Structure 1
Amino acid sequence: MRHTLLPFTLSLAVLLAANVLAQDQVQIQFQVDPLEAQTGSEAVFTVLTVSQILSMTWLYQGVTLGLWSGGAPTINPVAQFQGRVTISATQLRIGGAQLRDAGEYTVEVTPIATTGLSPNSRSIQLSVFDAVQGVSLTVPLVAVETRNVSLQCTWTAGTDLTVQWGRDGAAVATDSRVTISGGSLVFNPARRSDSGDYSCTVSNPVSVQSETRTLTVFYGPDNPVLTKDVPKDCVGDGDVEVGQTARLTCTSDSLPAAQFSWQRDGRPVSAGQPESGVLSVQTFSTDESARYVCIATNRVTGDTSEQGTLLTIVDVCLSVGEVVGIVIGSLLLLLIIALLIWLIVFLVRRRRRERRRERDTVYVPKNDREPRPIAHMAPQQREAPIQNTPHGLGTQTQPVINGASQPRQGGSAPVAFSPAQHNPSNLTQAALTEHTERAKTFQNRKQQTQAALLQPGPQARAPAVGTQQAPIPPPVIPLAQFQTLPKKHAQHRSPIRGPEPPRPPVNIPVAQRPHGHHRPHATVPAHHHHQPGRGHVHVSPHRHANGHGNPAHFTHPRQQQAHRERPR
């Protein structure tokens, strides 16, 4: 009988197991997975599953903590969780979480049979952390450039911590010079650019805390920059003129600000304000030229640097503008001198031309009876010796200019020809009339004069071929007649130009002239007319009554003006 029931029981158990395997398992989820909790706080496990629950059992690493069944919890006393476990329909609460509470928790859910679902289980991991506390950041009080600088971040509590470094709100980038090790930030070496606000942030999954400090990297002094402030920039090697004040300014990049001291040729020089880096030098002589050295000192780093310059004092200091002005003035002066030289040369040459023209022109004074134009005289006719007189006047000879009244000079006397005497140098009245008529066609005075010189009269023409004429002897006057001639002041005779023409008399009105000295005026020929614009000058034939051969008066205003402006 027993052997008959045994196969039947086995068959029933297999059928029941197959029926259970054929059903679906109930779905189980946790609201938070994994679960993290801070020590001292409550760890809450919340299950999301079906509402028709027959029982729900909680286990910690295989140890049953309790179950929920029939609407009431059943707590299994476990020494570790004594008095800290609470179970509800869907939750397990562990109060005052401790670090040792961390681990794996499992829940087993058995649904009601009417749901057609089979039981199921699910595990979750609990992590418990100590909160971060007491974070502190330490920076060195004196961080010097080119030296190693280390920042330290510390904390008093916290587990599973992470340390992060930041500068001015951005993460610190590491390289071969900047390294991070735990709570240390090291600069090897430090630079002035590393100055800034640094922060250390310590955190874990349940807490975070940070601290910020300012790092100041001291540096310098750098190589000083020395400048010279002078009243004006001298051209050349000079810096400042004697009597002026030179100002030397020394600057250097340094933190903190550098202090400055001065030396003159190696000897200390006191300055009014050492920290300002300004030295005023009052110059009194060129002997004060020297080399000035500026020394910059950083009282924190203890480093020093220096820079020197040579201050040259000169007697005369000319700026660029003054030199340019002098050059321009010199050029203008040279230009003026060149213009003056050119003007002088021009005037000298013009004067020479005028003198040459005067030397080539013969001035013939007017005759008592009729006006005579300028006559061209041959060289043999201009000067002829006076032959010995038959009255025994001696053997002296005097030069005589034919056809002209010449003042007495050096024992010579003017010789006048009578109208009846033959004078080959005089032009005939017919030649004068012909010349006057032809002069009307001249355009200027020069053409008229040249025509008069080149036009010979009938008596001046060359003799016929084969005829010989005896030379005309020079005129001779008795000594008694010569002594009765009126005397005149000696006139200057130039060795080059010959005798100068006599100066015109003062124009005295006829009514104011002395009585008894007027001669009747010669009658001007009817055919001798004034031709304005043709270079022909009308000359009145009347002369002074003294009869000394002075030039005639000019009655026309234009003739008087031309007479005054003629060469003297």
Structure 2
Amino acid sequence: MKTLSEEMHYAPVVLCLLAAAAWPAALCQNPVPIQFQTSPVLVRTGAAAVLDVITVSSALSISWVSPSGITLGLWVGGQAVLNNAVQYTGRITITATQLQISPVLLTDTGNYTVIVDPGSIVGMRKSSGSVLLHVFDAVAGVKLSVPPVALEGSNISLTCTWTMGTETSMSWTKGGTTISPDYRITVTGNSLVINPGNRSDAGGYSCMVYNLVSATTATASLTVYYGPDAPVLQQNSQANCVGGGQAVVGQTLQLACTSVSLPPALFSWQQNGQSVAADQVNGGVLTLQAITTNQSGQYVCMARNVVTTQTAKQSIGITIVKTCLSVGAVAGIVVACALAVIFIIIGIILLLCCRNRDSRLRGDKPNPSSAPATQNQPKQTVQAQKTQPPARRPPTPPPVLPLSQFKALPRQHLPEKRPVQQLRPERKPQPKRSIGIVQPSPHWNAVHGPAHMQGPAHMQGPAHTLSQHHSHMQKQVFRSRMRY
């Protein structure tokens, strides 16, 4: 019987022979295929981590190794053989293709290795693969803090905090819209800073803290205090009198003052620099009853914000008059005056038309002395006569001079017969003649004919000739004056 030392002496030789015989077969084998259903495996602490491997179903054994190199157990012969590793005690479950760790701890994070032994499967050899298990602490305890008093124009900072969560990230939203940094908004760490703040920044804000396995959102409402803005003054039932005046004596005057402010502004009034009694002020409305002219002046409304401690004021001038003429009343008076003037002008025109008609009717009556002369006048002369003033009376003919006075007058030729078209005969200076026998003029011959001058009875002396001439001149002057 050979001792153990002798057998050990021949062991290297036996191994060498076996290796030489198995070497050609080893060169023709492929590794067992190994895949993982999920890689990496992400899980939160306290949950169950499941590592699924996909490989040949008839493998001889499947063993699992922890990130630290400790064999957790194996599946062989249709049953699990576990290794009592201290770190995983009571938390390991092995099946044909799974390794389950429950509950998983944050320290379980790492790469886990699976080793598959195909056994007697021809053409395959043992192989291994690894999968990453990533354990996170879930996000919890998220809280969003906003400043209790945020003023417009100042720095406003919002802070988001949380109590649990690893490898976290953050995002900010307002009203469901993601907030992007700009020249006023800065995101630093877990804070959102707005500088300067604006009244439009008020609203609901949300911060979401998340990692690969969880997400939690916190919401808060931001109130931005502002104002007061410049007050706006309004007067009820303003008179709008022409020439100035916003109210009438005896009426009730109300002045309303409004200002945009948060919280609502407090109002006070001053008249000509003096405070108005508080019983006359209701909010921003100043009421003055049975006003008098002494209450005219400058009214000032002052608005004050108790939070922002800011003030704003606005003034209005009120003139109280005894009598008020509105724009409509003045317009009515002007229209009435214009209509009166128009009616007066129309009346004058109608009166003149009536007088002209009466004058034309009087001018159409026949005149024995002027009828022969007007029958042959052209239409232009008749129209000129009709335009003469109706009130003009014909001139009185001159008195008949005695013969003795007529002889003393300078001798003149009788006027020649003028055309009827001329309204007035042209008077030309006549040369002076010595008193003697008057020579008959062409007009004389046209009227009396040359037969009257024949015979000695008509030429017996200058007295007879002058008497006839004087009588004829009186007739011509009378006819001339009657004509005009």
TM-score by length of 2: 0.69
Name the CA shift for 1:88/1:265 in 2 (closer, same or farther; >3 Å). same
Tell me by how many angstroms 1:299 deviates: 2.4
Candidates 12, 18, 28, aligned match of 1:22: 28
Tell me by how many angstroms 1:295 deviates: 0.9
**Partner residue of 1:323?**
330
**Partner residue of 1:250?**
257
SS of match in other structure, 2:22: helix
Q: Percent identity?
A: 44
Paired residue type of 1:326: I
SS of match in other structure, 2:331: helix
The equivalences for 1:340-359 within 5 A come to 340-346=347-353
Q: Is the 8 A contact 1:230 1:245 kept in 2?
A: no
**Partner residue of 2:62?**
56
Residue 116 of structure 2 is aligned to residue 98 of structure 1 = no
Tell me by how many angstroms 1:234 deviates: 2.6
Distance 2:204 2:52 in 1: 45
Q: Is the 8 A contact 1:52 1:115 kept in 2?
A: no
Residue 232 of structure 2 is aligned to residue 225 of structure 1 = yes
Paired residue type of 2:37: Q
Residue 199 of structure 2 is aligned to residue 192 of structure 1 = yes
Distance 1:284 1:351 in 2: 64
Give structure 1 stretches of 5+ with no counterpart. 363-377, 386-460, 473-568
Name the CA shift for 1:124/1:5 in 2 (closer, same or farther; >3 Å). closer
SS of match in other structure, 2:86: coil
Paired residue type of 2:219: T
Residue 126 of structure 2 is aligned to residue 119 of structure 1 = yes
**Partner residue of 1:204?**
211
Name the CA shift for 1:23/1:273 in 2 (closer, same or farther; >3 Å). farther
Q: Is the 8 A contact 1:130 1:157 kept in 2?
A: yes
Q: Is the 8 A contact 2:280 2:287 kept in 1?
A: no
Tell which structure's C-alpha radius of gyration is larger.
Answer: 1
Residue 148 of structure 2 is aligned to residue 148 of structure 1 = no
**Partner residue of 2:309?**
302
Distance 1:153 1:320 in 2: 65
Name the CA shift for 1:232/1:5 in 2 (closer, same or farther; >3 Å). closer
Tell me by how many angstroms 1:8 deviates: 9.5
Residue 452 of structure 2 is aligned to residue 465 of structure 1 = yes
Distance 1:202 1:24 in 2: 48
Name the CA shift for 1:108/1:261 in 2 (closer, same or farther; >3 Å). same
Give structure 2 stretches of 5+ with no counterpart. 1-9, 370-395, 403-446, 459-463, 469-484
CA-to-partner distance for each residue in 1:509-550, whole Å, 9 max, x for gaps?
xxxxxxxxxxxxxxxxxxxxxxxxxxxxxxxxxxxxxxxxxx
Paired residue type of 1:223: A
Paired residue type of 1:20: A
Paired residue type of 2:333: I
Q: Is the 8 A contact 1:197 1:214 kept in 2?
A: yes
Name the CA shift for 1:8/1:198 in 2 (closer, same or farther; >3 Å). same
Distance 2:276 2:365 in 1: 84
Residue 135 of structure 2 is aligned to residue 135 of structure 1 = no
The equivalences for 1:49-448 within 5 A come to 49-61=55-67, 62-270=69-277, 274=281, 276-282=283-289, 284-346=291-353
CA-to-partner distance for each residue in 1:66-121, whole Å, 9 max, x for gaps?
22222232222322222322222211122232221111110010113235322211
Tell me by how many angstroms 1:297 deviates: 1.6
Name the CA shift for 1:274/1:134 in 2 (closer, same or farther; >3 Å). farther
Of 219-228 and 284-293, the range deviating more from structure 2? 284-293
Count of matched residue positions in the alignment of Structure 1 and Structure 2? 382
Name the CA shift for 1:162/1:358 in 2 (closer, same or farther; >3 Å). same
SS of match in other structure, 1:321: helix
Tell me by how many angstroms 1:228 deviates: 2.6
Tell me by how many angstroms 1:290 deviates: 0.5
Tell me by how many angstroms 1:55 deviates: 0.9
**Partner residue of 1:41?**
47
**Partner residue of 1:32?**
38
Paired residue type of 1:79: V
Distance 2:368 2:286 in 1: 85
Name the CA shift for 1:465/1:246 in 2 (closer, same or farther; >3 Å). farther
Name the one with the larger helix percent. Answer: 2
Distance 1:74 1:360 in 2: 165
